[in-house]
Amino acid sequence: MADVLTYVLHYEGAFNKNSLGAVSEAAARAAEIGGTCHAVVVGGDDLSDELCQSLGRYGATKVFRAQGPEGLAQPVVDVMAKVIDENGHGYALFGGGLLGFEIGAGLAARKQAGVTMEVVNVRAEDGKLVAERPILQDSKISVSHYQGDLGIIIGRINAFELHEDGSGPAEVVDVDVEYSPWSTQAKMVKRGEQRGADVDIEGADILVAGGRGLGKAEGFELAEELAKAFGGNTAVAATRAVVDAGWYPYAAQIGQTGKTVSPKLYLAAGISGAIQHKVGMQSSENIIAINKDANAPIFEFSDLGIVGDLNKIMPKLAEAIKAKKGG
């Protein structure tokens, strides 16, 4: 029997979806090994009793609340390490992203514990938790078993689904933490949204979607130019590979762990057409793909396929659309 501790990030009075998914996952897996799910939150006065108690809806039975800077890794490591030392949690399980990965690495070093990042599935086996993560460009799954008193499991962004299990409010416990000297060295100067984070790909009539074939973050300028040429209700979307690489914001991701879209026209540029991407866009009315590899899987479900270098084709296409509109 082991309890599972999760960390929940909040911003402007609301918990983040990635973290709430991790609470649901931690609660479900803890129940399978005879334990319960507890959560850690770190912040200021905006962490009201009511807000913390609301984590009970996702399966947390207890919430450890510490006063401290929100959104920085080292203070969270201090709080989690203290809570684990005092309560003997067997696992720490939380959502990934830059902050989650940094907290996971810090906690693993502090507690001399095993850590697995980018986990997409967690299961119980013989009363213990086992973590699965894709490797080798998602072509294989690596399975992690844990030794020792603590196992750390960090999910891929939004890998864990959020469930409201109808439970009542969680118990809120205030924790006093003396932060390590290095934990207070960094200050949060400003938080803001990434460019394109508010993009509405679900409501767009035309989507120009970019993948790894765009080569680099700046490659998305080609997709933005083409979207501008189409005009009207057109947006730029992306694959998971480029979102994970930080080339485009998560809000634009289509697929199994992103959004499901069904625009009138979906244009894929430099996208291979992996099954996890396909499930998010296959009901588009018309699918056009540009790919330099004639055997790319995306061509199997495209209405029109263009084999060639997108760097040459996309600017020409944008020019042709503008000329057609102008004429």
Ligand X SMILES: Cc1cc2nc3c(=O)[nH]c(=O)nc-3n(C[C@H](O)[C@H](O)[C@H](O)COP(=O)(O)OP(=O)(O)OC[C@H]3O[C@@H](n4cnc5c(N)ncnc54)[C@H](O)[C@@H]3O)c2cc1C
Contact 8/20 with Cβ under 8 angstroms?
yes
Q: Which helix (H) or strand (E) is 311 found in, with range?
A: helix 310-326
- Where residue 212 falls (left for φ over 0; alpha for ψ -120 to 50; beta otherwise) is alpha
DSSP string, 111-140: HT-EEEEEE-EEEEETTEEEEEEEETTTTE
Strand 121-125, strand 128-135: pairing: antiparallel
Rule CB under 6 A: choose which of 83, 154, 241, 288 binds ligand X.
Answer: 241
**Binding-site member from 256, 315, 321, 322 for ligand X (CB under 6 A):** 256
Strand 234-238, strand 128-135: pairing:
unpaired
User: Under the criterion CB under 6 A, does residue 240 sit at the interface with ligand X?
Assistant: yes
276 part of the interface to ligand X, by CB under 6 A: yes
Q: Is residue 211 part of the contact set for ligand X (CB under 6 A)?
A: yes
CA distances from 58 to 162, 178, 302 (A): 7, 29, 40
What letter would DSSP give residue 148? S
Q: Which stretch binds ligand X (CB under 6 A): 88-96, 169-177, 291-299, 317-325?
A: 291-299
Q: Is the dihedral of CA 184, 185, 191, 193 positive or negative?
A: negative
Q: Is 277 in the site for ligand X (CB under 6 A)?
A: yes
In whole angstroms, how close is the CB of 310 to ligand X at the nearest point? 4
Binding ligand X by CB under 6 A: which of 193, 221, 293, 319? 293
Based on the shown chain and the rule CB under 6 A, indicate whether residue 120 belongs to the binding site for ligand X: yes
Q: At its nearest, how many Å lie between ligand X and the CB of residue 209?
A: 9
Judged by CB under 6 A, the chain residues 294 through 323 that form the site for ligand X are 296, 309-311
Point out which span in 8-16, 98-106, 197-205, 233-241 binds ligand X (CB under 6 A).
233-241
| Residue given tokens 């911003």 in the structure block | 11
Asked if 260 interacts with ligand X (CB under 6 A), we say no
Q: Which residues sit at the interface with ligand X, rule CB under 6 A?
A: 120, 134, 138, 211-213, 239-242, 253-258, 270-272, 274, 276-277, 280, 290-293, 296, 309-311
